[in-house]
Amino acid sequence: MVTKTSIPEEELVASLKAGEQSAMAVLYDNYSAALLGAIMRIIESRENAEDVLQEVFVKVWKNISSYDRSKGKLFTWLINIARNAAIDSTRVKGYAIKNQIRSIDNSVRSINRQHSVTMPVDHIGLKNIIDTLKPDYKILIDKLYFEGYTQEETAEELGIPLGTVKTRIRAAINQLRGIIK
Amino acid sequence: MTVKEYIESGLLEAYAMGALNAAECAEVEAALEKYPEIRAELDAIETALGSYVNMQAVEPSPDIRGKVMSLINNTSQSERDVVTIGRLNINPNVAQDPRNNIVWSIAASILLLLSLGINIYLFNKTTIAETKTNGLVQTNHKLDSSVKVMAANMKQLVADNDRFRSDMSILMDPMYKLVELKGMKVSPEAKAMVCWCPGSKLVYYENEKMPEPPKGMQYQLWAIVDGKPVDAGMITMGAGLHKMKDVTNAESFAVTLEKEGGSDTPHGEMYVVGNI
């Protein structure tokens, strides 16, 4: 994560936990674009995605006390909140409210598939970097990380064994790490 | 698993991507606490994923920032509520307004009169109350022991509720296969259930309707792999989900009645069985 305002993450978190609104402004400047990009992988309409983004920052503000650095970086926590909020909002919209949570999950996802979310990439240069990622790997990261699929669902969706998903995850992130270096 | 094997298992990547269930997350978090190498690896994975997201960032419309900040301004974090209440009590404008002094004087006089009235009333009551006190002390003793019983019940309820919640989280978890075990000839009414997660190998068992085993005997769970039974642990009769031995592979699950402590291979009658 490239931070635009250089303030150490620990300090930022401490200020947020102390309830400093100015820290929220810093957080917004540093992470809003990344989070909106992630939300738009699930919600295509920019307007709806921006509504969810606002919700996400309010949730962060209210729940920052529950963030625990020992369990992961701030960014990972933020992206989890954004992904869950985005998936929740597609449920609330009543795309498909059925009796079982599982079927809700599946219908939300099939809607995503039908409308196949376009990948928002601002810079041509960066798009080229992403394109060097093996397509098998890219789809795996996208399903698991952006769209919130479980490993089982990803295996089913891609028609590969669960074991392959598990080993491929490591290989995929390794290639990503190589590219980013 | 060694630290190296753990790092190469792909678990950390799945954790960073939010693709693990609660039980697996807890497992990873325990490993993070213990091994700095694992933490360093997770940090690197998170950094890579962060860059990946950044490459696909979308700048929000310019008006969103203001909206967020005003939402934040109107939303208090839990500890900020306390501060606000504190400030309301020491609002200086209220004390400086002379009209408030008159209002306070009248209010104080009324309170004083009320207090006097209540005192006289209470004095009369005291005599009657004293005679009643002895009876009350005895009742109080009774209540005291009732409260102790209730507290114990409450504790039990809380424990039951905790267990119920953790059971529900397993039952609702899509990673788990739910296998219904149905009664055999020896006990056609018998029923049980097995929750098995092939990924984590975890197995939970629930008695739904199993006859009480005779003294010295105990039910034993078996995973059937290639037609052969593999011990999956001894069964206790309490309610709720019971954690059993890990099972890597299974076609079906079965329960037989064995001598207490179990057997290496099933000797007793099969009570329930269910295919996956």
Name which of B15, B61, B80 is nearest A50 (Cβ-Cβ): B61
Q: Which residues pair with B196 in a beta bridge?
A: B177, B203
Tell me the CATH number at A36: 1.10.1740.10
Q: Please judge whether A32 and B69 are an interchain contact, meaning their C-beta atoms are less than 8 angstroms apart.
A: no
Contact by Cβ (8 Å): A176, A144 = no
The domain total for chain A is: 2
Which B residues in the span 60-79 are in contact with A, Cβ-Cβ below 8 Å? 60-61, 64-65, 67-69, 71-73, 75, 77-79
**Which CATH number do you get for residue A172?**
1.10.10.10
| pLDDT value of residue B169 | 80
**Would you say the pTM of this structure is higher than 0.90?**
no
Which segment, B28-32, B78-82, B114-118, is predicted with the most confidence on average? B28-32
| Element containing residue A18 per DSSP (H, E) | none
Q: Which of A120, A140, A173 is the last residue of a domain?
A: A120
pLDDT for A110 beyond 70: no
Mark whether A101 and A42 lie in a shared domain: yes
Q: Which of B8, B32, B52 to mutate against chain A (most A CBs within 10 Å)?
A: B52
Single residue among A76, A91, A120 that ends a domain in this structure: A120
Mark whether A115 and A92 lie in a shared domain.
Answer: yes
B65 neighbors A28 (Cβ within 8 angstroms): yes
Cα separation, A49 vs A37, in Å, equals 9
**3-state class (DSSP) for residue B171:** helix
State whether residue B1 sits within 8 Å of chain A by CB. no
Predicted confidence (pLDDT) per residue in B34-60, tens digit: 999 999 999 999 999 998 998 889 999
- The answer to whether residues A96 and A167 belong to one domain is no
Q: Write out the residue range of the structural domain in which residue A153 sits.
A: 123-181
| Cross-chain Cβ contact A34/B79 below 8 Å | no
A114 pLDDT higher than 70: no
Helix A74-92 × helix A21-39 angle, to 10° = 60
Q: What pLDDT score was predicted for residue B22?
A: 84
- Same domain membership, residue A98 and residue A149: no
Would strands B270-275 and B252-259 be described as parallel, antiparallel, or unpaired? Answer: antiparallel
List, in order, residues 6 or more apart from B17 with CB less than 8 Å away: A141, A144, A145, A169, B49
**Domain shared by A99 and A150, yes or no:** no
- pLDDT score of A5 more than 80: no
Q: Which tokens belong to A29?
A: 């400047």
Among A74, A93, A120, where does a domain finish? A120
Of A50, A122, A173, the CB nearest to B60: A50
